[in-house]
Structure 1
Amino acid sequence: MRLRAAQAGLSAGIGAALFLHPTDLRLQAEEGSLLAPLCFVGLILSSVALYFVVSLMDPGFVRSHPEHTKPASALQESGSKGQEILAFQQDVPEVRLRRCGYCLLKQPMRAKHCRECRHCVRRYDHHCPWIENCVGERNHRLFVLYLAVQLVVVVWAMEASWSGLGPLPASFSWPWLRQNLLLLLCFLVLLVCAVVAALLLASHAYLAACNTTTWEFMSRHRISYLRGCPEEENPFDRGVFRNLWGFFCARRSVRWEALHPSAV
């Protein structure tokens, strides 16, 4: 809970600092041009809201009666929206599923037990200490959206903080440093955040395009359903477009056993 409070406090603190100093955002607000300042505040509020949603929501915990145990007829009752997913769930041989040694539930393929959350998570990606939650099947796309919004906010805030520093002195000046110390610290913190957010966003966009996860990418040699596949082969890859469509637009759980070679 402390990290969640720190995220909200850091966002509010940096936002306030940018309006307390003579930055472009403050000058525009004083001149009555409110579009940019209001958009900036709206983006900050959106990033904080996304953070709490991703942090507090169920990332895809495997329950006592997971969806993959339902018969195909029960899955089809959901209507035509899931036709693409259900198309490769029918007439698939049963695959022997691994039983979790911690919670004793049968794990759907691509699920992993998280010791911090004490649950198995469907399509487990990683446990993120910053959000104090796992990133999995249900919140992965929102996690990527949060990174994108956060990156836009951080880059915009960097530009605003730099504009408030004014002309840099030709030589070191204590009066200039005292006057601009807060903005300078904000810029340095934002620079670190921008690099981290950009690297995370790029890596997760790549993983989504390949239909793989951080856990599968980093620990392929430890995962039973990937050890038997050729080194460069991803059994869940359906092409970049279909991978991205399934990642960002699919609203239902996928039975990944149907795409694995052992099910064919």
Structure 2
Amino acid sequence: MQGKAQLSDSNRRIMELDAPPRRVYQAWKGSNLFFLGGRLIFGPDVRSLVLTVCLIIVPVIFFAAAVCPQLGHEFHSQIGGWAASVAMIFTAYILAILLLTSSRDPGIVPRNSHPPEPEDIDGSSNLPDWPGGQQGSTGLPLTRDVLVNGVSVKVKYCHTCMLYRPPRCSHCSICNNCVERFDHHCPWVGQCIGKRNYQFFFVFVSSTTLLCIYVFAFCWVNLRRIMDTHQCKIGGLTSFHLYLISTNQTTYENFRYHYDWRTNPYNLGVGRNFADVLFSSVPSSKHNFRAKVKDDSSAFTSSLSMGRVLSPPKMSVDLEMGMKRQAVAAEDLEDLHSQIGSAMGLERCGTEPPHFVGRKGCSEMSSDIEAFAEEFGMERGFNERKKIERRTNDDS
């Protein structure tokens, strides 16, 4: 077992000697991200660059594809093509500056592998701020004074990087590095802005501003041409409603009553009018649209009790009559035929059976039965029985 252990230890030493040395970016203790073998260094939020690039490219694409052709058509020249070409070249230049701003070392101060020795600290240190062994930095003061152009400036000790920060240096909590002439950490470029990339950052910001002005100017020229061609104005509705809000009027009141400052009872002053219209709480609705609706059968019953029968819709009548026609059986039709025959006989002889006393007469009963027969499609048989009756009367 010991031989194996010794063999493994020796092998481990041989592997360590034969292994290629690690590069600085591979052993980096900060939060930076490296690409192309350490040639490009970004902050940990480098993904925000995608949004920044889209915000620059997408408007330029719409400008070149929509506005520039319209400009060429309006002015009957090559101005649209030139405007698009300049915009695209300027955009490429801005993207290059953006890459230089975000992919360069912003001025990171190298870390120390161990804290500085106390004897290396001169007498300019502030003894009242002595940490007294804080985080293993025994005997190191928190601040020290350095001369900058003859002026004494305090610099702080960084416990993370184990060094006294140079003047105008600060530790970035996002990248976890001390950066010289630290300006800020810009999330739009995903990198700290410091001594080595501030110039590129300023050029990027100013160039982007010029690109916005350039695109906006041509868009405004195109918009003015469209307004002059179609005789229209933009922003009139917004201005009109700003006037209505400032005087606390509605559009209807303005056209109907023609309020002025004296006769408008709702005018509270410009400030209170804006507060009343735009910043007042929205009142609750006077309707509960999710509430259950009461059944209308009670209303139908009450109307029947008062003698007012509600006529159902025609569609429901047709459906009911269809169901009735299907429900009538063959034997019911035979009974109906017999009732019709007896009614015809009563009408012919002019007599009524005792159980018809106090009810409708023969003629009225026959007319009712005739209407009922027509409803069920029995008009043909009823007419045939009428013809037979007339022939019998003529023979008699």
Q: What is the TM-score of this pair, normalised by structure 1?
A: 0.48
Structure (1 or 2) with the greater strand fraction: 2
Higher relative contact order structure (alpha carbons within 8 Å, sequence separation ≥ 6): 1
Structure (1 or 2) with the greater helix fraction: 1
